[in-house]
Amino acid sequence: MSASPSTSGYVLYGTQGSGSSIVEIGLRWCGQDYRTVHASSWENASEQDALRALNPLMQIPTLRTPEGEVLTESGAILMHLGLRFPAAGLLGDDAHHRDQILRGLVYIAANCYSCISVIDYPERYSTRTGKDDRDAIVAGTKARLHKHWEIFADMFPGQPWLSGAKPGALDAMAVIVSKWSGSRKHLEANRPALFALLQRIEALPHVAEVCAAHWPPKTA
Ligand SMILES: N[C@@H](CCC(=O)N[C@@H](CS)C(=O)NCC(=O)O)C(=O)O
């Protein structure tokens, strides 16, 4: 991930292919300058001490605001950006859409992103250490994750975007979290309308740029 020079803007801790991409989309939609710091819990050759000092969970995205405040939790960071830069419209343009965007952000964080953590680190969620036990946790959690996306699709129809008349915070969160653990493939087969909407979100200018940097097209 390339770092854009900034001395006074936002500082985003993250790495390629991770949830820090959610915040990059939000920052770009708000026209905010930011600098990235390469850090993750799984890359020893990254700024792990600095990340741990800001976020003891060592999770990314972790964001330092221009004022030096530390923000974690992707949904909360998008809410912060939406409230601070209302003209960008991340939280919609009326109370009804705002309420549904907040609901959707918490839904994805609580029901989808949380499953990704279990799938990535099943050993954290079991007292059993055998491979079969881990495999069973991963398989069960993946099935539950896909169910959660189906329910999301039924509850949050595009109007025409997930955030309402314009793409916003819910679109940024959904487009990235749905990239993991076979969710898109599952939606393609089971909820094609949401799958198509996610493709449209991914084609939006700032989203396409961020996704190309985080998931570079494979060269044959
Ligand atoms: N609840 C957090 C979850 C963040 C999260 O799980 N991030 C992953 C990367 S996409 C992470 O840093 N995992 C490392 C770990 O848990 O050790 C959020 O919504 O931002």
What CATH number is attached to the domain comprising 163?
A: 1.20.1050.10
- 80 in the same domain as 100: no
pLDDT tens track for 149-195: 999 999 999 889 999 999 999 999 999 999 999 999 999 999 999 99
pLDDT tens track for 28-68: 999 999 999 999 999 999 999 999 999 999 999 999 999 99
Reported residue count of the chain is: 220
Q: Whole-angstrom Cα distance, residue 70 to residue 55?
A: 8
Please give the pLDDT value at position 129.
Answer: 86
Ligand 1 contact, 16 CB (< 6 A): no
What's the whole-number average pLDDT of the chain?
95
Q: How confident is the model at residue 6 (pLDDT cuts 50, 70, 90)?
A: very low
- 194 in the same domain as 127: yes
Cα–Cα distances in angstroms (integers) from residue 147 to residues 75, 186, 207, in the given order:
21, 9, 25
Please give the pLDDT value at position 16.
Answer: 98
CA of 58 to the centre of ligand 1 (A): 8
Residue owning the nearest CA to atom 13 of ligand 1: 59
Residue 13's DSSP bridge partners are 37, 62
**CATH code for position 53:** 3.40.30.10
Indicate if the alpha-carbon torsion angle 180, 36, 41, 23 is positive or negative. negative
Residue-range definition of the domain harbouring residue 137: 95-204
Among 88, 111, 146, which residue terminates a domain?
88
Is residue 197 pLDDT above 70, yes or no?
A: yes
- 46 in the same domain as 136: no
